[in-house]
A and B are shown apart, each in its own frame.
Chain A
Amino acid sequence: MIKKSHIPKLDDFLDGGIPEGTSVLFCAYPGIGSETFGYQILNGRLQEGDKGFIFTNVAEPSSIIYEFNKYGWDLEKNIDEENVFFVDGSSYFIGSPVMGKYSIENYSQIKEVVKKAINDVPSGVGVINNLSTLVDYLGVEETLETIHEWNEFAKLNKTVLIYIFTKWDYEEQFIDEIKSSVDCLVNVNTIEDRVIIGQGFMVVSSSWTTPSNEMALFFIIQPGGVRIYIPKILVTGPHNAGKSTFVKAISKKSVSVDRKALGKFKTTIAMDIGHMEYKGFVADVFGTPGQERFDLILDVLAKEAVGAFILVDSTLPETFARAKEMISKCKAEAIPKIIVANKTDLPGALTTEKIREIMKLGSDIPIVPASAREKIGINEAMDAFLALLYRD
């Protein structure tokens, strides 16, 4: 029997939800809090009338109750009604009073105590927060053995186990073993450039369905929890670099707000809007106007953008300074970006090396040769962009 995860989009990825008796690992890059996923699943299941528990070896139960309140979820009432309980593996170790149905005062007790907790919530859900802390207490081998035993026990009891895991700098082999110990792996990644500017989750493996390669970008709100959003991608660059054509080339659908300058050539006067869907990545695309008199729009368009394509006309190096100015005005220094060297098919087009040299760009910013009109290099540009976004 499959039950909803109560995480938006995750149920679509998982073919309806999470089957009873299975284990799900949320594997988060340091800097992203993934415990909200576990808490939101638990809260949803409690509202459906199921029972559950939280094993914590990080925050104390009182802090978790406080967090739940901030999300607008009433954990205390469920504790009072004996729908949910804590396995407190935190308080004793920091000298606070222990709280919960079970408590841990010695790490050697963990395996058996959690098994008791699983036994108490048949067809329910248990949240294990945090598996990575457990590793450094128990060691790699004992942790793996413990997970296997819990998962086997949970399967018999039809209890879903949700593991919260922070991917610190462990050996790759250990990470692989942890990942293969569970029925379903959800990666929680950052989108960053200097700092974290976004976060997304993706189902990497699942024993009951074939995962898509789609990443859902999300933010966490209080109250509310995990919320999905469609990210915004900027396409910017100097006048006549080919931005509108590029927006059309990467979008399934697009519209332009433009007019014919001097009655002859179209020029964008407000923006191009497109919707990009490529290899599971979905985004709204905003193409900025290139002329300086419309620069006031750039700041508005730049808000909440998670990445940018900077278009330059490969045949016109005199416009590169303007391109750099637009990177700055769009605040694109602080988001992942690639340079699309457009019109590469035209005579006099500079090589990407020459463009990098003139624009004084670091090697970390990819430059992709392309011709938006001839649809050359479009997929390469999008691949380079996704590689940057996902930090492949």
Chain B
Amino acid sequence: MRHPVLTMEGISKEFPGVKALSDVNFELYPGEVHALMGENGAGKSTLMKVLSGVYSATQGKIKLKGKEVTFGNPLDAQRQGVSIIHQEFNLFSNLSAAENIFIDRPEMTSRFGRIQWSKMFDEAQRLVDSIGGGEIDVRKEVRHLGVHSQQVIEIAKALSFQADVLIMDEPSAALPENEVKKMFEVVNRLRAQGVAIVYVSHRMKEIFEIADKVTVLRDGTKIDTRSIDEVTEQSLIQMMVGKEVNQLYPVRKQEHGEKVVLQVNQLSLDSTHRISFELRRGEILGLFGVPGSGSHTIAERLFGLKRGTGEIIINGTSVRINSPNEAKAKRIAYVPPDRHRQGIIKPMSIRQNLSLPILPELSKGIVMDRARIEQMSGEYMEKLRIKAPSDQQSVDFLSGGNQQKVVIGKWLAAKPEILILEEPTRGVDVGAKAEIYNIIHQLAEEGLSILLISSEMPEVIGLSDRILVLYKGEVVHEFAHGEADQEQLLQRASHPRLEGGTV
């Protein structure tokens, strides 16, 4: 019988007025990949913060290799063998990879504080090689490295502390689809080396591909730990949500209209690529492609964020769109991929965020009409079921799902005819996902034409009436409703020339 490298016993963590964790037990064995799952707010990140020394637990014990330990801070935890890799990398982009790995480490300096460069470079290269990053030049500045390489550097940094336990928080979130495989290879190497890995992720597919065990948290308590063979996607969701979510994607009740609402002719994406397609009334058109395929640029062009050539025809009239303002006037709305940067103003209230795009319509002259704003915001809070004590609440305190609903809501309030959704459920928990899918579905049934751009294949397949697969600025395939499965979709998106013709 192996001994666990790490045991957490009866961990509770209280914040003023809220119990984030209650009596959680967690065991981790060397050489295992242990997935940690749960909806947002379930306590995953709190548990990991306790483990990595960011928080100290209100109650409970942590044992590392059989000895009870306390971590005063993250550096302390790292020194004792527990490292965490955050979703957002903590790298200095203007320093070399090696410097990032060994930043502020006395063992890399001579007695008088001079950095021993050659030792540092050699050591860094050795570490990076050991996890399969041989192609990375550790002398290169981090900003010249790709996302995957940056992640390798983060892992190497953690390993340089002789990590026994490595926590990976949503490691695939920042990676393009094709680099996730490479990340898995790194994880597999680590597993073979006997490192225990806590893998925090929302993505079901990955969990089944990489994890040995899975622990599910809900509302601050542990639901269960199971071997990965014992669970299915459905049963995991059930454990996370606490109720049965049998239908994540709603079924289409009626066919979409025939009328072409948006027609795009030879729209330029860059200097060489042009694209054409049409969108019908009430249709959900999915655009799928690996990063660099141009789907994001299509959104930017249609919303006036980027200029170029080509023809955009809305309801039969050719229009020019040179700014988001003009797009809005043409009744085009855009829910951008990164809500924190582009979607919500965090310190402002739900009400202010919801009313932002349509303030001119909600004003008398230049003075805002408080009553109408209140009424509008109440209406959309209810329609989208945004959960908050009041619409005066700052959006900063909302969960990811509710924040995303605010972004969708502010554009619905603008009564668009064409809605561009890009990554509409990124960083949103399963429960809210289902709700957002329902909303999207309902909007289409009501006659809104939707352009769905997403890197989540199940989402594109589950929601779209039609899917265009893009590759390097070209439409390489079109799937009708129900035609595509994940494998085909990914194949078309990554190796367009394998078989079949283009559209």
Pair from one complex: no
- Interface residues in chain B, defined as those with a beta carbon under 8 Å from any beta carbon in chain A: none
- Interface residues in chain A, defined as those with a beta carbon under 8 Å from any beta carbon in chain B: none
